[in-house]
A and B are shown apart, each in its own frame.
Chain A
């Protein structure tokens, strides 16, 4: 599926008196890789949840692939999410009693119908064909996160949302995960929105949105020379510097 474009208009989220996200206007192009950066509590995850149809805004609207998410009720939001959005979370959430391939099949099951060979192929795409039958507890952190990527992409979503995808990984594993995402992104063209507080991870995007206190503080193009274009070793150097 080609990437989805994302539009927010005065998008706002409040929890009582606390503004998690101040009115935000932005447009994310289809097929782009956008990094959301900022310290904890800056509104990165809130924005991801809103454009991923996981949460409803207090005001404003979010439009993804032409669909106004604010107009969807809970059931329609669920249907939209399973059809259009892939999530990868910081804590590589997997169902602990299902094997790697079954975790991928779970997303297929919610979407339409579980297909084990296809799920196994998705795992192979992230380099985990040999770990398909392993339980999450038998996988390393990096492997678990790659299972999450396979699960997020198995239904070919137009929008991939990454919430601190490398936050719990050592740098080598992080690079492997980012490299996997970059390879698949280049191959299929889905839109990536990646929330991170790590500048090195942010530089994998085409564009960097900086949030502070729930506001958009800056919107800049990523440096022309990005770690992913130079491969893992370059990224390692980047982090070392």
Chain B
């Protein structure tokens, strides 16, 4: 029998023989690796989940015609400069790359007179706008017909507009009569505007098939907003894409903070587990002093005993890590459902990190107790019995 084969047999017997005494250490490793698994899985899944949560904050990219000179504002953001004269074809905007674009809402900006008073108006694909801004406070309902409009709260107060009231819109020679379906209060620029169906705005502005800009909610999930911008610019002729920095950066900042917090908690728990495992192993090895002393008396090299004991630790680490993966998968699903109300996809990195951490903690925590254990004097150990 080769030395390696006997060593494997010895290791297997040793693991079986010390199963009960090593159970506490293995359980500690299982718990810590479960936390690592959950932490990595949640950290990976949080991008998608937070992305869904952050949809409520609206667009993160703005598509405008290249070299457009008119400054406009959207929400609390300075949306940059566009030109009324130069627009984007809504047919082009329909070809935004689905890989990068989660939702988009073409918009046409125009000035109108509402019952004879000057006002800003924006024509939108209102259904798309509604999907992109679920957090908007709009009452009593979103418009459903082609001649219904939403009045911003400030504008409504200034012009005396109210849900159910009709108003006459005029843009140059063109006029239309719309019903106010709702008042919207966003706390930002939309409060000053009248939001119209895009088709009505195009008709009033005499710019059929055109949009001044498009609000885009890009699928970032850890990818760069600049990469998304480049992909969209390549897909839409004559378009320039600007990042709405506040939203994009809010996502990055939030994700970064969540990741850092999870990493810190995981590191702290890993350190605590290492101490627990080291303490437990110290006690376990104390109980094996007689066996270790006996092997040394029989001529075992300390190195071979060290290898055996560290191999045991590594196997315990693997066993604890495997159990931790199962526990971690359950825990991460529970966390995802309780926090986000949805499950998270299993990241391959989660079990890899859990197993690697478990083995590393087991080995790291074993080094000192094992080093001490194999330095015992065999005759002292055997005499003490």
A98 touches B13 (CB 8 A): yes
For B1, B2, B3, the residue with the greatest tally of chain A CB atoms inside 10 Å of its CB is B1
B382 touches A114 (CB 8 A): no
Q: Does B71 contact A (CB under 8 A)?
A: no
**Distance to closest chain A CB from B376 (angstroms):** 12
Chain B: CB-nearest residue to A113: B3
Question: Please, which residues of chain A bring their CB within 8 A of the CB of B377?
Answer: 55
Chain A residues within 8 Å of chain B by Cβ, number: 31
Question: Please, which residues of chain B bring their CB within 8 A of the CB of A102?
Answer: 9-10, 13
A97 touches B14 (CB 8 A): yes
B16 touches A97 (CB 8 A): yes
A93 touches B296 (CB 8 A): no
Which residues of A70-123 are within 8 A (CB) of B?
A: 75, 78-79, 81-83, 87, 89, 91, 93-98, 102, 105-107, 109-111, 113-116
B18 touches A87 (CB 8 A): no
**Distance to closest chain B CB from A12 (angstroms):** 16
Give Cα distance in the complex from A110 to B13, angstroms: 17
Q: Does B123 contact A (CB under 8 A)?
A: no
Given contacts A87-B298, A106-B295, A107-B298, contact A96 B383 (CB under 8 A): no
For B3, B294, B295, the residue with the greatest tally of chain A CB atoms inside 10 Å of its CB is B294
Chain A: CB-nearest residue to B6: A114
Given contacts A55-B379, A102-B13, A113-B1, contact A95 B7 (CB under 8 A): no
Given contacts A49-B379, A54-B379, A110-B300, contact A93 B3 (CB under 8 A): no
Give Cα distance in the complex from A96 to B19, angstroms: 13
Which residues of B8-57 are within 8 A (CB) of A?
A: 9-10, 13-14, 16-18
Question: Please, which residues of chain A bring their CB within 8 A of the CB of B382?
Answer: 89, 91, 93
Question: Please, which residues of chain A bring their CB within 8 A of the CB of B1?
Answer: 105, 113-116
Question: Please, which residues of chain A bring their CB within 8 A of the CB of B2?
Answer: 113
Give Cα distance in the complex from A160 to B296, angstroms: 16
Q: Does A228 contact B (CB under 8 A)?
A: no
B16 touches A106 (CB 8 A): no
B298 touches A106 (CB 8 A): yes
B299 touches A81 (CB 8 A): yes
Given contacts A89-B382, A105-B6, contact A97 B17 (CB under 8 A): yes
Q: Does B92 contact A (CB under 8 A)?
A: no
A87 touches B297 (CB 8 A): yes
B7 touches A109 (CB 8 A): yes
B301 touches A109 (CB 8 A): no
Give Cα distance in the complex from A153 to B10, angstroms: 20
Given contacts A45-B383, A49-B379, A54-B378, contact A110 B294 (CB under 8 A): no
For the A-B complex, the count of residue pairs with Cβ-Cβ distances under 8 Å equals: 76
Secondary structure of the B contact surface, majority rule: helix
Question: Please, which residues of chain A bring their CB within 8 A of the CB of B14?
Answer: 97
A93 touches B378 (CB 8 A): no
Question: Please, which residues of chain B bring their CB within 8 A of the CB of A87?
Answer: 297-298
Across the interface, B3 reaches (CB within 8 A) one of A82, A97, A114, namely A114
Question: Please, which residues of chain B bring their CB within 8 A of the CB of A210?
Answer: none
Across the interface, B304 reaches (CB within 8 A) one of A79, A81, A107, A110, namely A110
Give Cα distance in the complex from A109 to B295, angstroms: 11
B379 touches A93 (CB 8 A): no
Which residues of A37-80 are within 8 A (CB) of B?
A: 45, 49, 54-55, 75, 78-79
Chain A: CB-nearest residue to B293: A93
Q: Does A144 contact B (CB under 8 A)?
A: no
**Distance to closest chain B CB from A40 (angstroms):** 11
Give Cα distance in the complex from A97 to B378, angstroms: 19
Across the interface, A98 reaches (CB within 8 A) one of B10, B18, B379, namely B10
Chain A: CB-nearest residue to B296: A78
Give Cα distance in the complex from A79 to B301, angstroms: 8
Question: Please, which residues of chain A bring their CB within 8 A of the CB of B7?
Answer: 109
Which residues of B333-385 are within 8 A (CB) of A?
A: 377-379, 382-383, 385
Q: Does B290 contact A (CB under 8 A)?
A: yes
Question: Please, which residues of chain A bring their CB within 8 A of the CB of B297?
Answer: 54, 81, 87
B299 touches A93 (CB 8 A): no
**Distance to closest chain B CB from A43 (angstroms):** 12
Residues of B within 8 A of A (CB): 1-3, 5-7, 9-10, 13-14, 16-18, 290-291, 294-301, 304, 377-379, 382-383, 385
Given A107-B298, A110-B298, A110-B299; 18 other pairs, CB 8 A cutoff: A45-B383, A49-B379, A54-B297, A54-B379, A75-B301, A82-B299, A87-B298, A93-B382, A95-B295, A96-B291, A98-B10, A98-B13, A102-B9, A105-B6, A110-B300, A110-B304, A116-B1, A151-B298
